[in-house]
Amino acid sequence: MRNRNLLFVALFLVLLLAGGAVGAYAYDHSRRDTIAKGVTIGGVEVGGLKPAAARTKLEAELLRPLRRPVVVAYHGRRFALSARAARVAVDLDGMVAEAVRRSRDASIVSRIGREVTGGTVHTRLRPKVVYSHAAVERLARDVATALDRAPQDASVSFAASSLGPVAGHDGVKVDTRGLRRAVAHALVTVGSRRTIAPKVQTVVPKVSSATLASRYGTVITVDRSNFRLYLWKGLKLSKTYSIAVGQVGLDTPAGLYAIQNKAVDPVWSVPNSAWAGDLAGTQVPPGPSNPIKARWMGIYAGAGIHGTDDVGSIGSAASHGCIRMAVPDVVDLYDRVPVGAPVFIA
């Protein structure tokens, strides 16, 4: 090979001596728009080609692959971004012109020597590809909107005489920044994967099934129709009490509440209601005339759990909206129930 190159150089020198500088210039001028060997654009070899041929080759091997859509795929769901929607554009003419210019960088002697010896320039040009950043942003946002899922805390399904744990589930959060980078890379890079799996982060709920029992350490449920109050500890039934509830027209309110306040031998703040008569709006201290005996656990809007000495009313709808208990029972319950404990009344 070395001998062959030396032969080419010798022939070139003979030509140069025989024809002079004019002949050398004429030869170099005839190659003025030929891309030097070794020049690639986006990995496509264009050396030895004229601009028109180089452009045709780039259209087939560079532009055509870049016109394929980029697809984001996740668990059977697909989101496509076409080259048209992404406004992908490639400056083929500019890249070819740059390849020709880089081919002419050296001196005339170097260029002719390179030609006659089969030398290369080893120039790798990056394709000039542009795209719509807004389109990529919209795609990432659409993917996140479709796939993001908030975590669901484990919870409790309340019923009058039972508690049913409801399992929580993890959430999903799409890495939109990483997705934008991956889509942009695919849009401008020949040979890149056109189907992208987005990276997602698992978002763990604050309350898991494992921590549910501790979150609901103490719960009260009330079955008005059967006049029963149930005490639950760690979602397991701890104790059952007989109670009285509100009479017709003064019903104990149904719903999910919580113990708001507690008191021993409480003062009775009489509601401003017609049934209270002359006592309406007054306060009755502990004593024989105070119907709220021993303990008080406030629930909602003046209604609460308290003791009564009217034990004959237990097991009936007899109160003015409160939940009545026998004094020993309310004393027992009081020490087992903290402020904030859920109270479900059905």
The answer to whether 314 touches 195, Cβ cutoff 8 Å, is no
Catalytic residue among 75, 122, 185, 306: 306
Catalytic residue among 29, 133, 169, 322: 322
d(C-alpha 39, C-alpha 126), whole Å? 11
The answer to whether 41 touches 55, Cβ cutoff 8 Å, is no
d(C-alpha 57, C-alpha 256), whole Å? 73
d(C-alpha 56, C-alpha 59), whole Å? 5
Please enumerate, as own/partner, the contacts of 236-241 that have beta carbons within 8 Å and a separation of 24 or more: 238/336, 239/332, 239/333, 239/336, 241/325, 241/329, 241/333
Residues in a beta bridge with 218: 233
Angle between helices 2-30 and 108-117 (to 10 degrees): 130
- Phi first, then psi, for residue 94 (nearest 5°) are -65, -40
Q: Tokens 């980029």 label which residue?
A: 70
- The closest alpha carbon to 224, from 292, 306, 322, belongs to 322
Residue 123 CB partners (closer than 8 Å, separation 6+): 36, 38, 39, 40, 99, 102, 103
> 225 is written with which tokens?
């129709």
Exposed e or buried b per residue across 118-137, where buried means at least 16 C-beta atoms within 10 angstroms of its C-beta: ebebebebebebebeeebbe
Residue 306 among the catalytic residues: yes
> 22 is written with which tokens?
């004019």
- The closest alpha carbon to 183, from 73, 102, 89, belongs to 73
Q: Which residues are catalytic?
A: 306, 322
